């Protein structure tokens, strides 16, 4: 409702939307109904799980878009399978990688790990925020039980998402989680501090899509606490392993990393820091 008057007033040549959040879909709907062309950055990624609100946002946005900027060949194939015209699809790489490569040296200078007296490669990082993990008491309990085993080997820093914190309190699990030895809770962190911690971690455990991509770029082993992922390229080519929320699998894969057998990966095609330039060139031509 707030976006529509802006488009009517300014009459843009094109609306550029990014990712898969609710505002991505909302702005796409408004633009489509006003007959303004739409470009979607991060098009074509799919988890094939319609239970995720983000998946609905991706599919509908891609159906409405006139330019679809994809981060992987896999995303191209997904769009082709959905009947998107090939002339709309542009493989450009991952724009998140542009940001990461631009910031990684600056982030390293912060030495954020010192705040918790960590040593590089002797700690892990955890993030949890997805409803499928934090809204189900049995699921979050199983994850935390597994992590309590992992923390006997190395500390885990847990910058806790406000949504997750709220759910733990509602489920009367907050004190139990806080009492796990070696699990260190912190406030949410800024991008540079978080990137610094990721880059020097022994491993990362997460249910975030973006962090799966970042750990692949940083060559840090990543255990994804989900049963599916929209970033299949990080499994096929990167350092990412899907472990779901299975107690024994989490411990098994964590031990594999601790023993020096973490998954090795390579940088996916066109994840080179020049994605924004490629997008700008195509937009100019359009």
Q: Where are the alpha helices (H) located in 19-136, listed in sequence order?
A: 22-33, 53-64, 73-81, 95-108, 131-134
- Which of 40, 90, 129, 261 is flagged as catalytic? 129
| Per-residue burial over 254-276, b = 16 or more CB atoms within 10 Å of its CB, e = otherwise | bebbbeeebbebeebebbebebb
Q: Is 93 helix (H, G, I), strand (E, B) or coil?
A: coil
Q: Is 90 a catalytic residue?
A: no
Element (H, E) at 126: strand 124-127
Nearest Cα to Cα of residue 136 among 160, 178, 164 = 164
Instruction: Tell me how far CA of residue 54 lies from CA of 28, 77, 107, 155, 214, in angstroms.
Output: 14, 19, 29, 32, 19
Nearest Cα to Cα of residue 184 among 143, 125, 114 = 125
The Cα–Cα gap between 153 and 181 comes to: 11
Specify the pairing of strand 240-242 against strand 222-224.
parallel
Give the active site residues: 129
């Amino acid at each position: 409702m707030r976006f529509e008057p802006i488009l009517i007033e300014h009459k843009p040549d094109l609306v550029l939307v990014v990712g898969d959040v609710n505002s991505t879909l909302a702005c796409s709907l408004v633009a489509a109904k006003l007959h303004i062309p739409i470009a979607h950055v991060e098009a074509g990624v799919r988890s094939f799980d319609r239970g995720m609100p983000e998946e609905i946002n991706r599919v509908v946005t891609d159906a409405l878009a006139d330019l679809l900027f994809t981060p992987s060949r896999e995303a191209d194939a997904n769009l082709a399978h959905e009947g998107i015209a090939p002339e709309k699809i542009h493989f450009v790489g991952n724009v998140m990688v542009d940001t990461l490569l631009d910031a990684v040296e600056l982030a390293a200078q912060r030495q954020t790990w010192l705040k918790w007296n960590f040593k590089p490669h002797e700690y892990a990082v955890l993030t949890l925020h997805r409803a499928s993990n934090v809204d189900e008491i049995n699921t979050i309990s199983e994850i935390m039980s597994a992590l309590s085993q992992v923390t006997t080997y190395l500390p885990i820093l847990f910058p806790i998402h406000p949504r997750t914190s709220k759910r733990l309190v509602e489920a009367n699990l907050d004190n139990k989680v806080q009492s796990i030895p070696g699990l260190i809770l912190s406030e949410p962190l800024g991008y540079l501090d978080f990137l610094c911690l990721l880059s020097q971690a022994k491993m990362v455990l997460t249910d975030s899509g973006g962090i799966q991509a970042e750990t692949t770029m940083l060559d840090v082993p990543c255990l994804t606490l989900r049963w599916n992922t929209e970033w299949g390229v990080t499994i096929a080519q990167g350092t990412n392993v899907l472990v779901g929320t299975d107690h024994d699998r989490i411990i098994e894969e964590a031990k594999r990393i601790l023993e020096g057998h973490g998954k090795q990966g390579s940088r996916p095609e066109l994840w080179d820091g020049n994605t924004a330039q490629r997008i700008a060139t195509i937009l100019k031509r359009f």
